[in-house]
A = this chain, B = another copy of it.
Amino acid sequence: MLELRLVQGSLLKKVLESIKDLVTDANFDCSATGFSLQAMDSSHVALVALLLRSEGFEHYRCDRNISMGMNLNNMSKMLKCAGNDDIITIKGDDGSDTVTFMFESPNQDKISDFEMKLMDIDSEHLGIPEAEYHAIVKMPSSEFSRICKDLSSIGDTVVISVTKEGVKFSTRGDIGTANIVCRQNKTVDKATPLSESVTVSLSSELPVVVEYKIADMGYIRYYLAPKIEDDEEEMKS
């Protein structure tokens, strides 16, 4: 039996919104450690890894490890029906082919049960080796999001270069080129939906890791494979 009660239910809503456009179907894995997910995007360029640690839940009961295959779009439809202040409880029974999301309004006046069909999803867990990164940049997530959005209007790829002075994002497209330099010590001044800051970890031979902390309970990490060298050269030339 599975019963996970999350008082700040809006966290789960936001987590799902940040994954569902990248991944269609995925297995959520429940263990004594926490509620987690690992999935590749459909183009196999990005790996998403989510962890919500058990300590972050008000109530966490998971009798045995269980993996539940969910269509993230359907899951999102249901979670959108939860109010932003609602308490969300995830319930499952051993051997059942459904999962139940229960939403309780703060004053207990409205109680909703949404039961969703599970699906069988083949997935292999990739071991992600701990790695040492040459550069780690922590910046306001709102700033990072703005830069990605801005550059995507100019070009398709981005080169991230880190020096002691700051981090440079560069792109090139049909209409011209763009370089954005953020100097070190930029203060965090805005909040974004999920997390105030983002950490970008880089090594020349490894996937970039973009990590958002989720309150005190976990993280979402995006591992992004680098473009092959031909393109990088073209960008730098």
Q: Do the beta carbons of B153 and A80 come within 8 Å of each other?
A: yes
- Give how many copies assemble into the complex: 3
- Shortest CB–CB separation between residue A93 and chain B, in angstroms? 15
Q: Do the beta carbons of B77 and A143 come within 8 Å of each other?
A: no
Interface range for A: 20 to 34
Is A110 located at the chain interface by the 8 A CB criterion? yes
Q: Do the beta carbons of A112 and B78 come within 8 Å of each other?
A: no
Q: Do the beta carbons of B178 and A115 come within 8 Å of each other?
A: yes
Known: A81-B150, A114-B154, A150-B81. A74 touches B175 (CB 8 A): yes
Is A177 located at the chain interface by the 8 A CB criterion? yes
Q: Do the beta carbons of A113 and B178 come within 8 Å of each other?
A: yes
Is A182 located at the chain interface by the 8 A CB criterion? yes
Most chain-B CB neighbours within 10 Å: which of A116, A175, A187?
A175
Q: Report A147-195 residues with CB < 8 Å from chain B CB.
A: 150-151, 153-154, 175-183, 185-187
Instruction: Write the chain B residue with the least CB distance to A83.
Output: B146
Is A204 located at the chain interface by the 8 A CB criterion? no
Ordered by A's residue number, 12 sampled pairs between the chains whose C-beta atoms are within 8 Å are: A78-B175, A78-B176, A80-B153, A98-B176, A109-B185, A110-B181, A113-B179, A114-B178, A114-B179, A115-B177, A117-B175, A117-B176
